[in-house]
Copies of this chain bind each other. A is one copy, B any other.
Amino acid sequence: MKIRIVKPLLSVALNEITKREVLLTKAPDTEFDIVNIDEGPMNIECFYEETLASAHVVEKVVEAEREGWNGVFISCFADPAVDASRERVKIPVVGGFQPAALTASLISDKWSIVTISKKPIPLIRKVSRKLGIENNIASIRHIDTPFSDLPNEKIIESRLLKQINKAVDEDGAEAIVLGCTGFGRIAQTLAQKMASKGKPVAVISPTASAIGFLELLIRSGVSHRHFSF
């Protein structure tokens, strides 16, 4: 099966991170590539940047279907243009939020999100309300960190660990969703560190969940509803 990953931003800084993570978690028969949009924002942290990206994301999704890809992962936790893309293609399209949030709901009653800064929280609340699972969210925490620090894994790891710890101790989280597709590869490490502190907790990467969900949908022949406009 062939999955295209669309980065809804101009920056290619995180493409390599995504690539390495997907290689680790994809099924053996899954091929993939990663493309960025041609125009739009450098990053997406707010509604305005999502607005700048959306139309260009849809173009890339339509192109993916035309070229014969079997599914598309729009690689951003805010699920930008997922609804719009689903109106234009028949192949499955997922973003970063929904697959991770649903995976968390599968394995726990109450889970927390840890995202990069305060800025994307309104986007996250919007998609969580739309998905109908807001009551399952124990808390939305963030590590107060600029995008430019994302490649610095040491810093990211220690800040995430601190917030995950608080989510477990203070908010009653039974699982953790990493709230940025730029964090991904670190999920397993974080889970091991929590376990070694005597606080085992699942840490869910949006990228791994998205790829897994696309494989599930494609293999079972299921796609989103679509309207015959």
Contact = CB atoms under 8 A, between A and B. Distances in A.
A163 interface: no
A150 B103 CA distance: 31
Given A25-B219, A224-B107, A46 B130 contact: no
B188 A221 contact: yes
A99 B107 CA distance: 10
A99 B213 CA distance: 11
A156 interface: no
A20 interface: no
Interface in A35-81: 46-48, 50-52, 54-55, 58, 81
Given A102-B105, A108-B225, A202-B223, A48 B215 contact: no
Contacts of A187: 220-222
Contacts of A131: 105
A12 interface: no
Interface residues of A, number: 76
A132 B135 contact: yes
Contacts of A213: 103, 106, 212, 216
A209 interface: yes
A130 B55 CA distance: 22
Given A119-B229, A227-B118, A48 B109 contact: no
B198 A228 contact: yes
Contacts of A200: 225-226, 228
